[in-house]
Each structure stands twice: as structure tokens, then as C-alpha cells.
Amino acid sequence: MKLAYWMYAGPAHIGTLRVASSFKKVHAIMHAPLGDDYFNVMRSMLERDRDFTPVTASVVDRHVLARGSQEKVVENIIRKDREEKPDLVILTPTCTSSILQEDLQNFVNRASIETESDVLLADVNHYRVNELQASDRTLEQIVTFYMDKAQSENNVAKIKTIKPSVNILGSVSLGFHNQHDISEMKRLFQDLDIQINQIIPENASVEDLKKLPSAWFNFVPYRETGLMTARYLEQQFSMPYIDITPMGIVQTANCIRSIQELLNKLGTTVDYEKYIDEQTRFISQSAWFSRSIDCQNLTGKKAIVFGDATHAAAMTKILHQEMGIHVAWCGTYCKYDEEWFKGQVQEFCDEVIISDDHGLIGDLIAKTEPSAIFGTQMERHIGKRLNIPCGVISSPVHIQNFPLSYRPFLGYEGTNQIADLVYNSFTLGMEDHLLEIFGGHDTTEALSVGISADDSISWSSEAQKELSKIPGFVRGKVKRNTEKFARDRSKNLITLEVMYEAKEKVSS
Amino acid sequence: MSKVQSDAITFECETGNYHTFCPISCVSWLYQKIEDSFFLVIGTKTCGYFLQNAMGVMIFAEPRYAMAELEEGDISAKLNDYGELRRLCLQIKKDRNPSVIFWIGTCTTEIIKMDLEGIAPKLEAEIRVPIVVARANGLDYAFTQGEDTVLAAMAQRCPYSDRNPAVVHDEVSSHIPLVLFGSLPDPVATQLAIELKKQGVSVAGWLPSKRYTELPVIKEGYYVAGVNPFLSRTATTLMRRRKTKLIGAPFPIGPDGTRAWIEKICSVLHIKPVGLADREKAIWDSLEDYISLIRGKSVFFMGDNLLEVSLARFLIRCGMTVYEIGIPYMDKRYQAAELALLKTTCDEMNVMMPTIVEKPDNYNQVDRIRDLKPDLVITGMAHANPLEARGINTKWSVEFTFAQIHGFTNSRDILELVTRPLRRNLSLSELGWDVYSKQV
């Protein structure tokens, strides 16, 4: 058992449902107790989905516990087949159903005799994989199923398109800024004169999966979902894939260059250098922004980065390479992807943290005291408590990170968005100076915000007043330092004298 | 669909394929209510994921609850349950020092038959913190019934006699002591106690109390009354295990319900209530601006929190027509007085008696909603946005469980919630579009 109240990645079935419900005309049936259909709430609220989420439960109740599901699951599959006429029904086990050890595959086999739609059992182990791994696996499973089917019917579209073309793999609902990213990717490929063959799974039809092999190559924007499918297609149909996330100026250029190299190898001649140059210097604002004097103020500022593997790695590179920001540490909760992550970021930060324990991350942030945090919803709240600004760069996120306006993180427009996010997260340069010179925005009764580890230390009213004059973004730090200083010397009242003494000792 | 006709109320029962919250959600309001408690939910990642998403920002405020997340070794019994729980509870004791630890059993602990009730007394003796076990799982219960399982378990812990007999109550009541059960925000509990006090009824205690250490004395022969419709197990426990007498009354939701609740309590205690009719009328008069918005309109309850019958009864009194009362579970004995008041209300308002659909089937309900086109659907969040996109006004049902809706004072809050979608959509009428889905 593990004591926990927050997790970065959800349970496996969430990953399966995200993939299944992203396809058109695919219905997922969860073998789950009442109340486990919370996924529908998230889809409906976070994504503000206008349509009913194609997920229902075959409810596991006390009777099922006593007698087994018997006909229930089969009947529910057949019923959904009649009601919704989906192309595919995916039976999704949950943590509860997996310990019941019923032969769900048998139910699937029996149901599929009577259904028009195909029926699949999601192949994920709840106690071994998380949401992200499960989504990767489910996508591969569905693609494999339909490729096998097409092959047995001799129906695979193997002839390549005349013009260079690409499949984008891993566009999934409830993904972080996913829809905007995909729009941006479409634009990018259009600029590069590369035809888009298919985008899966969001809004795709399973019937079209047999046409996947007619693309020249596959593109996997996020490491978390799509890699397994890309590898499968490479193995079965010799389709190469690109898995460089085009996030940030440098990475976008790298990504485009590898596409160029790939296409040239495949027998066409393309030269994207001019495009990269034009986009970087004149279309995107962020490269110029990095060079502009305003951005000088960011030089050497301390930040930390935490999130999923894709976003945390890309963000670390951007901060270090493109903005001259000092990344004290960067980390990911994708523990299963540790090796790749370390390889990517090692040279861009002082330390790499691999953990899914939010308590540890919170403690590390408090210890590091960065000027800004780039993390998930959790780090945003840690930042709030410590009075450190935070830019959200990765799932898990809340509803405010499903913006209505166009906010990609990928491609050239993505670089603009990220530059804004970074810049706005740090206290603005000139304001920073002015605050230091004039002692804060509000010199009247400002609050002394900050977390104190120990309440036994009190502040004299003069010291309290002095503390309130210190600008907000460093006030917490000064307070903690002073208290630590006092505690180390067993003083339990902080007077002006103690405060100044601390300032001298600590800063020297 | 099976139909049962009883006392002219039509009860139906569907497939139970409906959306509701998992009953472990009760920790979110109970840990706030019981200030010295700690709730440990013994379950899987699925439970944790639900809690962290359903509770939203509350999660960041260092809540007094946590998951004991079961791992593969726990499932396959490679690890020893006692040892594992001991380790976690000692940690909790060290970090938070609560007066009580609640263990919330989940579906998984049911299936692997983890003997929480057996382990708790031993561990309690060892670590010297009371451990109360409640099985609030999705196999057996829906949403608010979670609170019922917790309160039923707590009822057993109420002292039989005053811990401190030296304390003399400043007010000696003239009637057999009355204990109320049901978790309400403190201001609401105070308001209800004041209403009763006006009639000369004194409340001897509440289950739950603000602190675990202040649980009320419950002796044989005491009267008990519920404030919420989903507390049937607690009522049963208080009657059978603690030998109390249950006052079966409608629930104090809406001015009509509140008056009926007080009247019933008074009649059992042989007190003649005074001024209640005027009090009720004054409240109705003050609600007229809201009622005029909903009078003659229709409402459909999809059903997910067991407050449905009381709310429907109140809305019918406000002049609405109720097409359907979906409800997860209907205890006809515990809710008998509420059902009777529903019937009377329908007769007096001269509207048809709505069908009560137990264990509803959401798919069929959406079909019926399409046919009936009600002016308002009260439903969970899974269906709210898709229905709105189809031009149907919805009110998110969970808000009724978190808002203050009890007593005379809070009647306005119920209508504030009920009329909000109507008021909002009225102001959007200039926009000119109603349907925002291509599927329809």
C-alpha cells in the first residue's frame, strides 16, 4: 500500500477510453462498478464536448460479484451495437473487473457473433501500466486489429500517394493543447507541401485505418501516445517514422530537417532550409524575442521544469538553449521513460528528477526556490503556496488549460505562445527593478505571505512592517531565510536587528 | 421495465445504467464537517483519480484524507493487510494526529475480501486512535449513500452516557431527548436547531458532530430524525442497534418540507407548533420573484443523489410539472412521509403524479427527454453539456448536494439553483441559436 492523494497519470482504463472515444463511431463499454464512468464527466466538462461521450458501463454490482457477469456484458455489447450502430465496440476492463478474473475475452467472442460491429477487449494491465502507457497500447491494438483484418481481406492500401504524405499518430482527446497542436501541424505540413494521409485517432474512422500504409511516413508528435503504433507500422509495412517533437525553435528545425532527410532518402528532392530560415527569423517572433534586449533580463534566472516526458524535455531545451534561463532541475513523472528522458535533458539542467510523488516535487521546489516553475496543475498550486509564478506546460491540467482561443505548443506559432508564457511567468524586467528600488507596489499594510515551517517564531511589528516592504516575489524567501537564521540561533522573536543580521549573514 | 403500483404512486425500475458519483465522494464533505477526522480511502488508482478530479481545487488545500493505494502485492495477498494498514495509520497519526481515522472500504477491498472490520479493532487498540470502518463502495451504493454508510458506522460509536456527568445542561428539555442525523454545514444545522427551539424542541445532539470527540449521547428510547433522504442505513442502525425511535417525517427541504418536518417532530413530542403557517407563507411570498419564472414549466430528474423526491415535491409546490423522478435507490419506508407529502402536493396542485424510476437507464431517459422536451433537466455533468448543445436547459444535480438547501432560510438557494439556467438562457435569447450539436 502507498499513502497518496494525488497522481500525475490516471489509471489504465482512462488511457484506453481516451483513445477509443477519440475515434468516430467507436463505443467503449467499461466493465466497472457504479461511479467509475467519471471519464464522461471529464470529457464533457474539460473538453466541453457537445456530444454524449461514447462510453457506457456494464455495471459490476453485488449480483455480478456473486454470480459473475454471465449474460450481462454480452447483452450490453449487443444492445450498444443496436442502439448506436458503432463500427467497433471496445470492452474496457477496470481495476475492479481485472481482479474478478472473468473471461472477458470469451464475452467478446460470444457478443461479436451477434453484432454488426467489431468487438475488441482492451489489452491493458491495471496494476502495471498507467493512463499514458495504456493509451499507447490501445491505439496500437486497434490499428493492428484493422490492419490484420484488411490483410486477411487483401484490402490494405499499400500503394504510396504520388506526393509525399504523412500520418499523424497519437492525437487524443483530453490531451494538453492537443487540438491546437494538430491544427498547427496541419499548417506545417501544408507549408512543407506534404499531404496529410490520416490523423489518428481523434475524429478518425476505424474503417480508414487500412489506408495508413499509403503514407510515406508516420509522425509522432508526443512520446506518450503513438510510438507503439509507429513501431508496429515500421515493422509490418516498412514505414519510417519521425518522433522529434517540434516544440521550440531548435526542435522544430530539427524535426523539419529529419523529415527532409527522410523524404530525400525516399527518392524525392526537398530542401526546407530556406523555409526554416524564413520562419525562424521573420515569421515566428520568438527567435527575435530571445535576441531582443527585453529578454536579457531573463538571463541566468532560475527555473525548474516538471511534466510528462515530451513537454518537460522540450521545455527544458527551450529555456536553456533559446532563452538563457538556468534550469536548476527538470523532471518527469513518466518513470517508464526514464532512460530517454535523461538522455534528452541531461546537458540542459543541473539535475534530472524522475518521480511521480508530488510531495517530493513540492519539497524540491521549496528547497530550490526558483524564480519560476514550468509544470503541471500540481506545480501551479505548489507555486501559489510558495508565491512563485508557474507556467503550465503539461498534463494533468484543469479546465483553464483547455482554452477556446488558438494556443498550440508545437510548430512556429507554438514558439510564440511559449515565449509569451515564459516571459509572463517571470516578473517583468523593468517592473522587477522598480519594485526593488521603491520597495514594492504597496507599502501600506501589505501581507507577509509565505509558508513558515515553524509557528513558534514571531515577528516584532517593526520587523513585520519591514518585511511587508519587500517585493512580493522574494518576500517568502526572505521570510523563510530570516526564520531559519533565527531558528539556528534559537531566537524566537525576529526584531529589525535580527532581520538585518540575517540579511547580512545569509547573503554573504 | 418492471412496474409496481402502490398507493397510486408508480414505481418503475430500469437497468441501473446511469451516471452518478462514486460514494467515496462523501469524504470530501465529511472531512470538512468532522474537524478532527482523517479519512483513509483504501482502494486503487481509479478511486484516487476520481477523488482528485471530482474535488477539484480542494485537493491542494492539504485535505485530511488520503488514499491507501493498493498495489499488486496487496491484491495477490503477498503483503500483509494488517502490517500495511498499521504502517500507514502510524504515519497519519504522526503527521496529523487525528481523533479518529475513517477507513473507507471500496470495490476492491470488497472483492479481495479484505477484513477491514476485523483488522480495525486490533489496530485501534494498538495505535490508540479510534478507527471507524465504512464500506462506501460502488458495488452497493450511489453517491450520497456514502455518507449513510459512514454515519451508520459512527452511530455505533456514540456514547451511551455522558462522558462528563458533572456538566449540567443549562436547559433541561421537557421532552424525551431528540438527536438529529445527517451532515449539514454548521450554519444550516444551527438554523434548523433554532427553528425547533422556537417550538420548544431542543436538539440533544447531531450525528455527526463537529468533532468526533463530541459525538452525541444516544440512549435507548431517544428520538431520532433524519434531515436527508439518503440516510436509511443510519436510521436502521439507530433504531435496531441503538434502540431509538425514528420520527418519520418529510425532509426539511423547501418551506413546505421544513414546516412538515417541524410539525411531525412536534406532534411526536406532543407539542403544539405555533406560527408555522405564517412563517411558511412569509417564505413563499419572498420567493415569488423566482417562482414566477418556473410556474407552469416542466422538469425531469435523471436521478443520481437521492434528493430527487424532496426536490420534486418542492418544485411541484412551486407550480412546476415533474415528468419523471429518477432516483438511484428508493427506501419506501424511510421516505414514506416524504412520498405521502409528494402525493398530497400533487393532488393539491392538481398535477399528474410523476413516475418514480429507480435505477434508471440514462440512454432510455435521454430518449424520453427527446420526446417530452422538458423545460429543465436536472442531471449529472456527463449529460449536461450534450443536452445543452441540443437546446435543453439543464441544472447540474451535484450542486444540490453541496449547496445549502435545508430549512426555511435556504429555500431561496434551491430556487436560485433551479432558475439559474432559465435566467441565463433567457438573457441569451437574443443570441438566436439554441442547438449547438450536429448530431441531435
pLDDT tens-digit profile of A456-482?
A: 788 888 888 888 877 776 787 788 888
C-alpha cell at A227: 510510438
Domain count, chain A: 4
**C-alpha angle A98/A109/B109, rounded to 5°?**
15
Do the annotations mark residue B107 as ligand-binding? Answer: yes
Write out pLDDT tens, residues A93-146.
999 888 888 999 999 999 999 999 999 999 998 888 999 999 999 999 999 999
User: Is residue B28 a contact partner of residue B44, using CB atoms and an 8 Å limit?
Assistant: no
* Closest Cα in chain B, distance from residue A37 (Å): 7
In a domain, A200, yes or no: yes
Is pLDDT above 90 for A318? yes
* Closest Cα in chain B, distance from residue A485 (Å): 25
Fold of B23-141: Rossmann fold (3.40.50)
Q: What percent of chain A has pLDDT over 70?
A: 94
Q: What share of chain B is helix, strand, coil (3-state, %, to 5)?
A: 45, 15, 40
Q: Predicted confidence band at A443 (pLDDT cuts at 50, 70, 90)? A: very low
Nearest to B44 among A57, A59, A95 (CB): A95
Is pLDDT above 70 for B57? no
What pLDDT is attached to residue A372? 93
Report the CATH number that the domain containing residue A278 is assigned in CATH: 3.40.50.1980
Which residue in the list A103, A123, A294, A442 is annotated as catalytic? Answer: A294
Q: Which domain holds residue A345?
A: 287-437
Mean pLDDT of A329-344: 97
Is pLDDT above 60 for A23? yes
Is pLDDT above 50 for B94? yes
In a domain, A447, yes or no: no
Residue A353 CA to residue A210 CA, distance in Å, equals: 41
Write out pLDDT tens, residues A150-166.
999 999 988 999 999 99
B178-269 is classed CATH 3.40.50.1100: no
Is pLDDT above 80 for A331? yes
Write out pLDDT tens, residues B388-431.
999 999 999 999 998 999 999 999 999 999 999 999 888 887 77
**Cross-strand partners of A304:** A329, A373
Write out pLDDT tens, residues A221-272.
999 999 999 999 999 999 999 999 999 999 999 999 999 999 999 999 999 9
Tell whether A421 and A298 lie within a shared domain. yes
In a domain, A3, yes or no: no
**Using a CB-CB distance cutoff of 8 angstroms, which residues of chain A are in contact with residue B360?**
none
Chain B, nearest residue to A53 by Cα: B382
Nearest to A2 among B54, B59, B69 (CB): B69
**B243 Cβ contact list (under 8 Å, min separation 6):** B220, B221
In a domain, A147, yes or no: no
C-alpha cell at A490: 534559537
* Closest Cα in chain A, distance from residue B132 (Å): 18
Q: Predicted confidence band at B163 (pLDDT cuts at 50, 70, 90)? A: low
Tell whether A64 and A158 lie within a shared domain. no
CATH 3.40.50.1980 in chain B, residue ranges: 23-141, 178-269, 276-428
- The yes-or-no answer on residue A454 being catalytic is no
Tell whether A471 and A378 lie within a shared domain. no
Q: What percent of chain B has pLDDT over 70?
A: 94
Do the annotations mark residue B318 as ligand-binding? Answer: no
Tell whether A222 and A313 lie within a shared domain. no
**Cross-strand partners of B40:** B66, B103
The listed CATH number (3.40.50.300, 3.40.190.10, 3.40.50.1980, 3.40.50.2000) that belongs to domain B276-428: 3.40.50.1980
| Cβ pair A1:B79 closer than 8 A | yes
Average pLDDT, chain A: 91
| Cβ pair B49:A48 closer than 8 A | no
Binding region of A for substrate = 429-430
What pLDDT is attached to residue A456? 74
Nearest to A7 among B20, B22, B52 (CB): B52
Tell whether A292 and A427 lie within a shared domain. yes
Mean pLDDT of A289-311: 91
Is pLDDT above 60 for A451? no
The DSSP-derived string for A193-236 is: T-EEEEEEETT-BGGGGGGGGGSSEEE-S-SSSSHHHHHHHHHH
Query: In whole angstroms, what separates CA B77 from the centre of its chain?
Result: 35
* Closest Cα in chain A, distance from residue B271 (Å): 44
In a domain, A7, yes or no: no
What pLDDT is attached to residue A433? 58
Q: Which of A94, A129, A164 is the last residue of a domain?
A: A129
Residue A382 CA to residue A361 CA, distance in Å, equals: 9
What pLDDT is attached to residue A446? 40
> Which of A244-248, B73-77, B205-209 is least confident?
B73-77
Mean pLDDT of A419-428: 84
Q: Which of A407, A437, A467 is the last residue of a domain?
A: A437
Tell whether A301 and A387 lie within a shared domain. yes
User: Is residue A418 a contact partner of residue A303, using CB atoms and an 8 Å limit?
Assistant: no
Q: Which residue has the higher pLDDT, A455 or B199?
A: B199
Residue A221 CA to residue A255 CA, distance in Å, equals: 10
Tell whether A294 and A397 lie within a shared domain. yes
**Using a CB-CB distance cutoff of 8 angstroms, which residues of chain B are in contact with residue A379?**
none
Write out pLDDT tens, residues B104-130.
999 999 999 999 999 999 999 999 999
Is pLDDT above 70 for A362? yes
Tell whether A373 and A277 lie within a shared domain. no
Q: Which of A282, A310, A344 is the last residue of a domain?
A: A282
**Using a CB-CB distance cutoff of 8 angstroms, which residues of chain B are in contact with residue A102?**
none
What pLDDT is attached to residue B77? 83
Tell whether A204 and A118 lie within a shared domain. no
What pLDDT is attached to residue B393? 95
Tell whether A426 and A298 lie within a shared domain. yes
Tell whether A394 and A499 lie within a shared domain. no
- The phi and psi torsions of A483 (rounded to 5 degrees) equal -65, -40
**Using a CB-CB distance cutoff of 8 angstroms, which residues of chain B are in contact with residue A57?**
17
What ipTM does this complex have? Answer: 0.92
| Cβ pair A3:B380 closer than 8 A | no
In a domain, A421, yes or no: yes
Tell whether A322 and A361 lie within a shared domain. yes
